């Protein structure tokens, strides 16, 4: 592993560097609703609450999207974490409803942010890593393809210089930090958003921070990683793990025509138009080491990612950034949308697949908190 400072590659974007920042909470305050966590999920919850006419305070321990929401692979993928045929077997027909709802969410994001932020280029599920395809995963791709076709969801077979697998034309790519900051900016005009305000405890009607207490009739806890730390009631239902990534100097542009997830989804990468690559994964090879809330990258995983990056690039790479983030996993890969105390609803546990799932869960959480509407069956209540 080359010696590279621990910095998030996405933050090198000029739009992130230009972020003006938001003040921390300053004293006790009363509001209709409080949202804990200002990633893509929390921002969707803020918007949904504002749309209902409520006064809203949003809190984040760091910068907007400085956690997993701004440190992930930037994939906007339709559907749940498991491939559709597996989700159907585990969850039933609601898996298809879920897939369609995530595609509608992608349409919403694109309409809000446009092609300068959201690149609707599809995605590739590669059987194995570049080179000879993994036969077992190729067989699974065939089942995946059949399930998608049976429900009228776009899919094509992929065979190209990377190998073989599936092309999912509905998917998209994004700089996740840019996406979140672009969504946050207009919300600062209609809600009180506060960065650098860690939450120390949450209970019915009250959110405590070192800077003051928020009193609110509705609380939405919209953090993914460390969810079981913020809400100890969820220990045993979600478990936080470290996810690691790196970024490279430009390689041959167009080598990755769209986001690529490979080796059963454990490794993933996208390439920007300028040739830079953003590569993550390896968690499954070091599972026991990766459980926990550490966000410093490890030498073992990063060394593995160096090799993955070179394989995906088809040439030697120079790494410019290395980083990690915390994300929560559930046993069956169903995200949580659940009331943990009267008026306190938690969402999270996206199992590494939250860029579209999170906002869908946020709106379900608001409906649960305000209307008592049970979450859809594809969420664990």
What are the distances in angstroms from CA 266 to CA 44, 81, 125, 278, 284?
Answer: 27, 11, 11, 14, 7
Predicted local distance difference test score (pLDDT) of residue 132: 87
With 0.85 as the threshold, say if the pTM is over it.
yes
- Asked whether 100 and 359 are in contact (CB, 8 A), the reply is no
What are the distances in angstroms from CA 82 to CA 114, 257, 266, 290?
Answer: 28, 23, 12, 20
Helix (H) or strand (E) holding 138: helix 135-150
Predicted local distance difference test score (pLDDT) of residue 329: 97
Mutual orientation of helices 176-187 and 94-113 as an angle, nearest 10°? 70
What are the distances in angstroms from CA 28 to CA 22, 211, 268, 333?
Answer: 17, 8, 43, 37
Predicted local distance difference test score (pLDDT) of residue 240: 98
**pLDDT tens column, 186-212:** 999 999 999 999 999 999 999 999 999
Q: How does DSSP classify residue 130?
A: S
Kindly state the tokens that stand for 114. Answer: 């446009």
Cβ within 8 Å of residue 196, ≥6 positions away? 24, 60, 61, 62, 63
Q: How does DSSP classify residue 256?
A: S
**pLDDT tens column, 51-62:** 999 999 999 999
Domain 120-173+240-329 has CATH 3.40.50.300: no
Strand partners, 207: 202, 214
Predicted local distance difference test score (pLDDT) of residue 4: 75
Predicted local distance difference test score (pLDDT) of residue 2: 62
Radius of gyration of the chain (CA): 20
- Give me the sign of the Cα torsion angle 316, 318, 321, 322: positive
Q: How far apart are CA 234 and CA 253, in angstroms?
A: 44
For the chain, the domains span 120-173+240-329
Helix (H) or strand (E) holding 289: helix 287-290
For the chain, residues with pLDDT lower than 50 are: none
- Give me the sign of the Cα torsion angle 214, 178, 249, 258: positive
The bridge status of strand 260-262 relative to strand 336-341 is: unpaired
DSSP 40-98: HHHHHHHHHHHHTT--EEEE-SSSTT-SGGGTS--EE-SS-SS-HHHHHHHH-THHHHH
Q: How does DSSP classify residue 352?
A: T
């Amino acid at each position: 592993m080359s010696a590279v400072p621990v910095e998030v590659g996405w933050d090198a974007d000029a739009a992130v560097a230009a972020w003006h920042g938001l003040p921390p909470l300053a004293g006790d305050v009363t509001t209709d609703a409080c949202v804990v966590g200002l990633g893509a999920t929390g921002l969707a919850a803020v918007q949904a609450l504002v749309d209902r006419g409520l006064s809203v305070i949003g809190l984040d321990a760091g910068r907007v999207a400085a956690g997993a929401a701004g440190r992930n692979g930037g994939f906007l993928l339709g559907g749940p974490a498991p491939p559709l045929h597996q989700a159907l077997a585990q969850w039933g027909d609601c898996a298809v409803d879920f897939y369609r709802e995530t595609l509608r969410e992608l349409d919403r994001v694109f309409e809000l942010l446009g092609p300068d932020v959201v690149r609707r280029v599809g995605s590739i599920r590669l059987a194995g890593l570049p080179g000879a395809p993994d036969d077992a995963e190729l067989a699974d791709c065939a089942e995946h393809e059949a399930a998608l076709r049976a429900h009228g969801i776009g899919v094509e077979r992929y065979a190209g210089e990377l190998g073989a697998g599936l092309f999912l034309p509905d998917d998209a790519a994004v700089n996740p930090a840019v996406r979140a900051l672009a969504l946050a900016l207009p919300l600062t005009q209609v809600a009180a958003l506060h960065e650098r305000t860690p939450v120390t405890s949450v209970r019915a009607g009250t959110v405590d921070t070192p800077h003051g207490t928020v009193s609110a009739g509705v609380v939405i806890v919209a953090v993914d990683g460390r969810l079981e730390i913020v809400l100890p009631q969820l220990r045993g239902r979600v478990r936080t793990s470290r996810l690691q990534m790196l970024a490279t100097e430009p390689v041959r542009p167009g080598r990755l025509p769209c986001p690529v997830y490979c080796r059963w989804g454990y490794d993933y990468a996208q390439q920007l138009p300028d040739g830079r690559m953003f590569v993550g994964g390896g968690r499954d090879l070091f599972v026991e080491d990766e459980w926990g809330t550490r966000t410093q990258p490890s030498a073992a995983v990063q060394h593995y990612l160096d090799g993955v990056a070179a394989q995906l690039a088809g040439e030697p790479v120079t790494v410019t950034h290395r980083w990690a983030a915390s994300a929560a996993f559930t046993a069956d890969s169903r995200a949580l949308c659940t009331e943990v105390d009267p008026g306190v609803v938690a969402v999270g546990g996206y199992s590494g697949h939250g860029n579209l799932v999170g906002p869908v869960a946020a709106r379900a959480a608001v409906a649960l908190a305000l209307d008592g509407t049970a979450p859809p069956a594809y969420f664990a209540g």
